[in-house]
């Protein structure tokens, strides 16, 4: 089979779960049955790779005339998608990841008369804060996404929750939707107790710590965790690996929240304002007492798999696909959250959510034996259910079904 993959992200340009997904999925698909399939990746950037897994980065540029500077990112995406549509040939199926690639997928489907597959990593109507980045172009990204789902031959949902969302929002028939969870590289993500990484980031070796790792965005709920710190009992450092803010406004909000809580809490707060290298992240996961995922929207949450693979239990918001990963009382704890109606996508009672996060953390953070047992069960759950090899095989089987139809 000749598989076309279209994505905004591909290494080294990876900043979210979709990019991680594409990186590992393509690698594993290219290896299935001793490399009998050809995987052709189109992505944003200048990447270039030849072989059974080929990669072609698209770096088309144009100085778009706009009345609103926020529209440039949207128009730049559409331009790259048009170039992508003319840059691929000889494929049996095209598989797109996130709205950034959907316009390209729509064109490729028509130009090459092949099935169009979409993986649901997130959905624009559930991410209203994107309007902060795109302005009214947010309506453009939403329209492209809606049109793509209406024309898709098959949809991969990364969780049962996303399957329901795709059906409810875009009326995609359930028989067109296949749930295939995200996965993890079990050889790469495993316990690493390298203490020098702690020194590198000025984390005290002698005191346990609670970890957050992710982007500064509304979706990841980082502000709610920062606001929870003042309710967390003393005795743990709070390590925030939080970089790549979506906007200047949320960056300033984060700075203000951290400064405020430093004056309110006895816990030492270590803010690492960057996206740390993968090897460092693995060591940080491995040595943390707890990993906290306060997301207000999370279709799946690869980040939780990464922590669990490193034998670290997770305290996470009970949203989206997270309950399909974290088993309460066994691999961590889930914190209930009620999201506002409409387009806010924020907790109805933010302070209560912050307090509930802290309460869950406090209930287990000082129980080393319990944390150890949860960590071991976390690793075993990841081994049992979230291998990339099986995910690649399931995806290829889905392609075969669609091509046959």
Determine the average pLDDT of the residues in 313-327. 95
CATH-assigned architecture of domain 2-183+387-404: 3-Layer(aba) Sandwich (3.40)
DSSP class of residue 330? T
- Tell me if domain 2-183+387-404 and domain 195-385 are identical in fold: yes
Determine the average pLDDT of the residues in 126-148. 91
Q: Across the chain, what does the average pLDDT equal?
A: 94
CA 242 – CA 295 distance, rounded (Å): 13
- pLDDT tier for residue 292 given thresholds of 50, 70 and 90: very high
pLDDT at 343 over 80: no
pTM for the whole structure: 0.79
Determine the average pLDDT of the residues in 338-361. 86
Determine the average pLDDT of the residues in 194-212. 97
CB 310 within 8 A of CB 185: no
Regarding predicted confidence, which is higher, 17 or 92?
Answer: 92
pLDDT at 342 over 80: no
In this predicted structure, what is the pLDDT of residue 72?
Answer: 94
- pLDDT tier for residue 344 given thresholds of 50, 70 and 90: low
In this predicted structure, what is the pLDDT of residue 127?
Answer: 82
Per domain, the residue ranges of the chain are 2-183+387-404, 195-385
Contacts with 351 (C-beta within 8 Å, 6 or more apart), sequence order: 227
Rounded percentage of the chain residues whose pLDDT exceeds 90: 83
Rounded percentage of the chain residues whose pLDDT exceeds 70: 99
Other CB atoms within 10 Å distance of the CB of residue 48: 9
Determine the average pLDDT of the residues in 279-284. 98
Which CATH superfamily groups domain 195-385? Glycogen Phosphorylase B; (3.40.50.2000)
Query: Residue 330: exposed, middle, or buried by beta-carbon count in 10 A (0-12, 13-18, 19+)?
Result: middle
Determine the average pLDDT of the residues in 3-17. 93
- The pLDDT tens digits of the residues spanning 223-276 come to 999 999 999 999 999 999 999 888 888 899 999 999 999 999 999 999 999 989
In this predicted structure, what is the pLDDT of residue 15?
Answer: 82
């Amino acid at each position: 089979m000749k598989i076309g993959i279209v994505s905004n992200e591909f290494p080294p340009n990876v900043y979210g779960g979709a990019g991680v997904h594409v990186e590992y999925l393509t690698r594993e698909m290219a290896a299935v049955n001793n490399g009998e399939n050809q995987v052709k990746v189109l992505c944003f950037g200048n990447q270039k790779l030849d072989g059974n897994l080929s990669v072609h980065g698209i770096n088309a540029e144009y100085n778009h005339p706009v009345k609103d500077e926020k529209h440039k990112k949207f128009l730049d995406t559409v331009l790259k998608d048009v170039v992508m549509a003319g840059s691929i040939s000889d494929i049996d199926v095209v598989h797109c990841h996130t709205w950034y690639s959907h316009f390209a997928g729509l064109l490729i489907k028509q130009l090459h008369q092949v099935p169009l597959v979409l993986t649901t990593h997130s959905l624009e109507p559930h991410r209203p804060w994107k309007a902060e980045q795109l302005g009214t172009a947010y309506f453009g990204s939403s329209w492209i996404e809606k049109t793509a789902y209406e024309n898709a031959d098959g949809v991969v949902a990364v969780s049962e929750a996303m399957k329901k969302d795709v059906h409810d929002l875009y009326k995609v028939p359930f028989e067109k939707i296949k749930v295939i969870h995200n996965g993890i590289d079990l050889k790469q993500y495993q316990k690493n107790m390298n203490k020098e990484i702690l020194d590198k980031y000025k984390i005290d070796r002698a005191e346990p710590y609670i970890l957050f790792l992710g982007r500064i965005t509304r979706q990841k709920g980082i502000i709610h965790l920062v606001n929870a710190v003042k309710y967390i009992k003393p005795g743990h450092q709070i390590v925030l690996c939080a970089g790549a803010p979506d906007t200047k406004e949320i960056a300033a909000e984060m700075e203000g929240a951290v400064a405020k809580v430093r004056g309110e809490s006895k816990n030492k707060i270590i803010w690492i304002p960057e996206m740390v290298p993968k090897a460092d992240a693995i060591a940080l996961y491995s040595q943390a007492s707890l990993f906290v995922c306060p997301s207000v929207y999370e279709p799946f949450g690869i980040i939780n798999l990464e922590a669990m693979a490193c034998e670290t239990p997770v305290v996470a918001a009970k949203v989206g696909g997270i309950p399909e990963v974290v088993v309460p009382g066994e691999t961590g704890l889930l914190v209930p959250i009620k999201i506002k109606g409409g387009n806010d996508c924020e907790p109805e009672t933010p302070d209560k959510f912050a307090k509930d996060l802290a309460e869950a953390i406090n209930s287990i953070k000082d129980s080393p034996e319990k944390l150890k047992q949860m960590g071991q069960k976390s690793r075993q759950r990841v081994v049992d259910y979230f291998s990339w090899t099986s995910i690649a095989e399931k995806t290829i089987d889905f392609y075969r079904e669609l091509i046959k139809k």
